[in-house]
Amino acid sequence: MASKHMINESGERPVNEPLASEKIVSDRKIFFLDLKENNRGRFLKITEDVGGRRDTIMLPAAAFRDFADALDRLIELEGGI
């Protein structure tokens, strides 16, 4: 799913709406990645939905690069899937 930017007719993003979103479907799981912002800064909200059961983690923007680097290392170990 391509990123979608939530902007209303007045050119503003509604309160609590993501700045951008992505959706990944893998087998019976759905992952939602929402880039959001609050008074403490930007963060990534990652939600896993499995048959209606949802688990969520919040990743602060300051950790994005470390998270991506760790994911890259794990992908390499897995054979570059």
pLDDT at 58 over 50: yes
- pLDDT category, 14, cuts 50, 70, 90? low
- pLDDT category, 77, cuts 50, 70, 90? very high
- Span 20-77 CATH architecture: Roll (3.10)
pLDDT at 1 over 50: no
**Sign of the CA dihedral running 54, 33, 39, 67:** positive
pLDDT at 4 over 60: no
- pLDDT category, 62, cuts 50, 70, 90? very high
Q: Which string of b and e fits 54-76 if b means at least 16 CB within 10 Å?
A: eeeeeeeeeeeeeeeeeeeeeee
